[in-house]
Amino acid sequence: MKLLRYGPPGGELPGLLHTDGTVRSLAKMVDDLAGSALSNSSLESLRQSNLDDLPVVEAPGRLGPCVTGVGKFLCVGLNYSDHAAESGMDVPAEPVLFMKATSAIVGPNDDVVIPKDSTKTDWEVELGIVIGEPASHVSEQDALNYVAGYCVVNDLSEREFQLERCGQWVKGKSCDTFAPLGPYLVTRDEIPNPQDLALWLEVDGHRYQDGSTQTMVFGVAELVSYISRFMTLHPGDIISTGTPPGVGLGQKPPVYLRPGQTMTLGIDGLGQQSQTTVAWENA
């Protein structure tokens, strides 16, 4: 299933993209796409219902973030060997983990704000894992059973804030609007092999990133298992799994985002996003 949320910011309603291309309302079936609604039993109940009987949403308008109530937004750094090389960093022996503020989350096609005093705002297309069941010390063999599904993430970064301003990466990753999610939460049954997905990103029609999850250093199951050793993962938590090469930082010379540009990005089977960049003072 391709689950979604539609409506104005703060007023989104749960929905589903039907196989006939229409958006159907889930408002009478789940309160929202959060918490227990993401559990295996809840998703199976939706799957077994007669989706043809769900009300059609005639004009869904804006798409919001595909999940809400996100408790933890975890990110994995340098998880593609060729991206580590373009960043001038070694491939890590274990997953590099950092947090992204949940206040950065926006809809898949909402504007992205270039932060005040930013000179190095950058893009990163990433596969997002959405947790559906509480996971603590789970094995790699069982890890995917704790996954509700997957989504597209644009893990935007301000490289000066991230790399030149001391401390951890979080302040370069957490600016407002730096985490567009969606358009869909695609349930895991529709993605039998998350390690074989093409992902790409363009800026103003120029393709900068064109990779595959085949080249991830640490795969989805390994990441869920690994992270669950250090903290319990809860329904709605997101793990953004790293980016392939082609980020602005890796260009020669580096290329960074300016107001008035358009980013378009997507992942096989998970849909496509498009954001316009706007200046902080005009946001």
- What confidence score (pLDDT) does residue 185 get? 98
- What confidence score (pLDDT) does residue 83 get? 73
Q: Is pTM beyond 0.85 here?
A: yes
Q: Which of 211, 275, 272, 269 is nearest to 243 (CA)?
A: 211
Mean pLDDT by 10 residues, the chain (283 residues): 98 97 96 97 95 94 97 95 75 93 98 97 98 98 98 97 85 96 98 97 98 96 98 98 95 97 98 97 80
- What confidence score (pLDDT) does residue 182 get? 97
| Residue 240 phi, psi (nearest 5) | -95, 125
Instruction: Enumerate domains of the chain plus CATH numbers.
Output: 67-282 (3.90.850.10)
Q: Radius of gyration of the chain from Cα atoms?
A: 18
- What confidence score (pLDDT) does residue 274 get? 98
d(CA 274, CA 242): 19
Please name the amino acid found at residue 78. L
Contact 25, 31 (CB under 8 A): no
DSSP letter (8 states) at residue 85? H
d(CA 235, CA 215): 27
pLDDT tens, position by position, 201-236: 999 999 999 999 999 999 999 999 999 999 999 999
Q: Give the DSSP H or E segment for 208.
A: strand 206-212
- What confidence score (pLDDT) does residue 74 get? 98
Q: Which of 219, 225, 76 is nearest to 137 (CA)?
A: 225
Q: Which residues have a Cβ under 8 Å from the Cβ of 228 and sit 6 or more positions away?
A: 135, 136, 137, 138, 143, 146
d(CA 30, CA 53): 15
Alpha helices, DSSP H, located in the chain: 40-48, 81-86, 159-163, 170-173, 220-228
Three-state secondary structure readout of 144-191: HHHEEEEEEEECCEEHHHHHCCCCCCHHHHCCCCCEEECCCEEEHHHC
Pairing, β 121-122 against β 125-131: unpaired
